[in-house]
Structure 1
Amino acid sequence: MKWIFLVPFLISGSLFSQKIIWQENNRLKWENFKSKINNQQGDNVVAYTHCGWEYSVVKSTNPKIPVRIKVTTIFNEDQSWKDVKRINDYVLLHEQKHFDIAEIHARKLRKEIAERIKTSGDYNKYFQEIYNRVLNDYRKFQAAYDRETRHGMNEEKQAEYNGVISEALENLKNYAAS
């Protein structure tokens, strides 16, 4: 029996950058935003959160052998930036929600994996399609979140999204990382 161990990354960047793993009661702090460079366009950017997920796979070349897939939501400190002259708690909450959105989609990915992928053969057949669909949904959600809240400047929309995000985390709590 031959085992294969894969570690592809959703997020570009260094394998050795400082990462924070998403946890229910561990909230971001401004000290976590360590990039010296604002890699976003525009002078109106107050902060930028670089987050997403990574996964690892342990599988066999035998398609009938069970597969193990671990999905972890991460925040990259070295690629997340803040304008120290304009930050405040409200902006930090908006940035935290970006991290929470990454966790929601990691839970969606874990849910589909649990439902559809049991063996190495299932992994070979279904994983890439599931991953690509969840990734596409994740990107669309993040873009809509920033667009509709105007990067947190629309307080009414921000409050709506805060509720939607909290509810989604609660509804998918069975798929939180263990």
Structure 2
Amino acid sequence: MLLCSALDGTAQSDVANLKQAVKYYKVEFDERRGENGDTLYYSSHRPLKWTDFKAEPRATSSYSAAAFTGFGYNGKIKLDNDTAIIALVLETYFIKPFSWVRKGAQTDYALAHEQLHFDITYLIVQRLKKRLMATTYDADFDSIIQYQYIQSYRDMNRLQEQYDNETRHGIIKTEQERWERQVIKWLQE
């Protein structure tokens, strides 16, 4: 998360003075890619593989697999004259040691279902980015960003649940195909 006290290493007592000097706010984005230990960051060039699913299947679950995905951000502030540049790094991630698949369930079809969960998480991050670009900022920019993040997290949970409900966790193939087409369309918007 972004903290106001992270203003270029400026002491907390100077933050109020800096905020008074700032007249304009600008947001810049970067996205984390690649892998870092047990975490895989989203890339359309690196789809999920069954070997990414490291956890033991949950004995109490009736599902054949589970992909643990999420998103977050971190950032810092750069000052350029009277403009505060809010530099955010967005992260869409898949946590390998929390994701699992049952033996015998490692089909291409099931992997495509789990991949779409990851794609949906990435879609929500892209929507968050659009929201943040359209937002007007002031000295309370940190709270504004956190609010949008929380709203996006709620949106992600609703959309993931809708996806699983409508496809019955991938069982209804026609619904699975419809969702695949719809997510591709949304990502292209």
Could you state the TM-score of these two structures normalised by the residue count of structure 1? 0.78
* Matching residue within 4, 8, 14 for 1:3: 8
Q: 1:19 is matched with which residue?
A: 39
Aligned partner of residue 148 in structure 2, secondary structure: helix
Structure 1 position 88 matched with structure 2 position 93: no
Q: 2:184 is matched with which residue?
A: 166
- Once the two structures are superposed, the pairs formed by residues 1-178 of structure 1 within 5 Å of their partners are 2-3=7-8, 18-38=38-58, 41-42=60-61, 44-59=62-77, 65-116=84-135, 121=139, 123-171=141-189
Structure 1 stretches of 4+ moved >3 Å: none
In structure 1, the gaps of 5 or more residues are 5-15, 172-178
Q: CA deviation at 1:127?
A: 1.1
> Would you say the 8 A contact 1:116–1:122 is kept in 2?
no
C-alpha change, 1:125 and 1:54, in structure 2 (3 Å) is closer
Q: 2: CA distance between counterparts of 1:69 and 1:123?
A: 12
Letter of the structure 1 residue corresponding to residue 92 of structure 2: T
Q: 2: CA distance between counterparts of 1:152 and 1:125?
A: 38
Q: Deviations over 1:35-61 (max 9, x none)?
A: 12427x43x210000001121111379
In structure 2, the gaps of 5 or more residues are 1-5, 10-35
Larger radius of gyration: 2
Q: 2: CA distance between counterparts of 1:157 and 1:127?
A: 34
> Would you say the 8 A contact 2:56–2:100 is kept in 1?
yes
C-alpha change, 1:131 and 1:18, in structure 2 (3 Å) is same
> Would you say the 8 A contact 1:17–1:76 is kept in 2?
no
